[in-house]
Amino acid sequence: MALWDQSGRAEQGELCRGPTHTQKESMSTSAPLLAELDHLLQQEVEAYEHLLALHQGVQRCLAAPALDPLLASLQAREHVVRHIAHVEHYRAVVTAQLAPLLQLPATDVTLQTLSTRVDASYASRFCQYRTRLRTLVDEVQQLNNIQTQLLREVRGFVDAALAFFTGLLSAPPTYLQSGKLTTPTPARFLSGRA
């Protein structure tokens, strides 16, 4: 058996009577904010899922000989990351408004602490969002690390290829330092004979 204390938490060994009158008022005042937070968390999860899908597609882009798909993917990921930053900012605004209504310190507003102060349906969804967001962020970070390594290897390959081909070009530059043309030298590899 439990009794709700002033902060809304149940104490062990007493009869559970439910939230106090002031807590019921704060719950009704916070209901629109909780609904907004729920909506923002859903948007955030969907955005991270989209970002994860884009990250997974980058590996195909890295294997392709063209840079256009990679550039398009990078631009799409940048757009999604901006959207995530906007949603996270708005979520912070909403949670800052919720903190005093749920008697939480503004510095300690997490999905876990919120789930201890709201009704069971919101608590369950907030815990699901927390778990899903953690999983998605971990997967995105893991793919970031893999792609960073792949890009380093690709860049190393390109740098080595450029060094090799640059070494084959022993002809002087076409332009002098002052910007004036140099006199062309006859081609080394072509004789002009059939």
- pLDDT at residue 83 tops 90: yes
pLDDT in tens, 11-65: 333 333 334 434 455 556 788 999 999 999 999 999 999 999 998 888 777 777 7
Lookup: tokens for 163? 């060094």
Contact 1, 20 (CB under 8 A): no
Q: Is the pTM of this model over 0.85?
A: no
Fold of 30-160: Methane Monooxygenase Hydroxylase; Chain G, domain 1 (1.20.58)
What pLDDT is attached to residue 1? 29
What pLDDT is attached to residue 125? 94
Q: Where are the chain's structural domains?
A: 30-160
CB neighbourhood size of 20 (10 A):
14
